[in-house]
Amino acid sequence: MIEKFHYWLDAEEDSFYLTASIQEINENNINELKIEGANAWLESLGKTSEKFVTTLPYKHIRRTFNPKGLACEFSKLKTENDINNFANIYGLLGISTPDQAHIGKIKFTKSVFSDSSHFIDLPIGQSYCEPIELWFFHIKEMQKLLKLYQVLINIHKGDLQESFIEDSLLSLSKPIGGSCQILWWDGSWTGLTAHEDELAKEYSFLKLAQGILAHKVNSIGNQDIKRFPETIITGKPPLGFTIKECKYTSYLIRAIYYDLWQLISNNEPVHICENQSCKLPFKKVKRQKYCSNACKQEAYRLRKKSKMK
């Protein structure tokens, strides 16, 4: 039996899932809207109001879904409006509503970190609403992973020195209890730690970088991918049919990471937008230099401005 909500990853059949949109939830409308999980999220974030991406109040079912290019498309979301449009098409990410244990964990991590690290490694599952802050966290994660991927390609090609990783991409926190957190260039936590003894031995930032990419892609994009056998009538002996295995997932976030995994395993190149105020990774079409028309125009304006000085 196939699960009720599903995103096909390689089949042309109809997917089945709820689309979502942004809705602000606060003291005034929370009881009226009755959105499952909103209270748990607000409690864990210590807030009384927040913008959420939610399937309610208007339930809308969508069927057409194409996972190809999803990782890059997701990483390019910049504004609330972008997120709203994306959720209108693809639905919720599928980060479970936190239970009591996770509410406690989020509260604790929030008190320790100054950034969005409290959203790291939350369980994937059924959800009805997700804080917009959580969406921005996952979008940034994808941007960082694509950037990491692009850097690793360039190092392997010889266009970039290996030291670039240590200089501009990853760093280590001071050791706490014998292990160091591996941090992104902006100081946020990658979610991974390295033991001091391991670090004392021969290690390289290149290995750390490769490990992070592999770990992230595997832990989200390669777990809980379901397989559904489909029979295809061929009329040929001995059976007259063959069996094709179709992959699907119930959660959008896995579909996004599955696409990243496909991108990596097909060695597809990723480029960095040449707009200096953007610099986001994107998939190039022909000789495209910018991730979007908006960036092309912005870069043009910036060039013009600097010439006028």
Query: What are the C-alpha distances in Å from 27 to residues 38, 46, 47, 50?
Result: 11, 13, 10, 10
Side-chain half-sphere CA neighbours of 287 within 13 A:
0
Nearer to Zn ion, 8 or 282 (CB): 282
Q: Is 87 in the site for Zn ion (CB under 5 A)?
A: no
The angle subtended at Cα 72 by Cα 25 and Cα 286, nearest 5°, is 145
Nearer to Zn ion, 129 or 295 (CB): 295
Nearer to Zn ion, 25 or 291 (CB): 291
Q: Is 278 in the site for Zn ion (CB under 5 A)?
A: yes
Name residue 78's amino acid.
Answer: K
Q: Is 170 in the site for Zn ion (CB under 5 A)?
A: no
Two tokens, residue 239: 């059976």
Nearer to Zn ion, 23 or 275 (CB): 275
Q: Is 270 in the site for Zn ion (CB under 5 A)?
A: no
Pick from 94, 121, 85, 92: nearest CA to 106: 121
Q: Is 252 in the site for Zn ion (CB under 5 A)?
A: no
Q: What is the biggest distance separating any 2 CA atoms in the chain, rounded to whole angstroms?
A: 77
| 18, 59 Cβ separation under 8 angstroms | yes
Candidates 60-68, 208-216, 254-262, 286-294: pick the segment binding Zn ion (CB under 5 A).
286-294
| 229, 243 Cβ separation under 8 angstroms | yes
Nearer to Zn ion, 107 or 296 (CB): 296
Q: Is 273 in the site for Zn ion (CB under 5 A)?
A: yes
Q: Is 275 in the site for Zn ion (CB under 5 A)?
A: yes
Q: Is 182 in the site for Zn ion (CB under 5 A)?
A: no
Strand partners, 124: 95
Q: Is 249 in the site for Zn ion (CB under 5 A)?
A: no
Applying CB under 5 A, which residues contact Zn ion?
Answer: 273, 275, 278, 291, 295
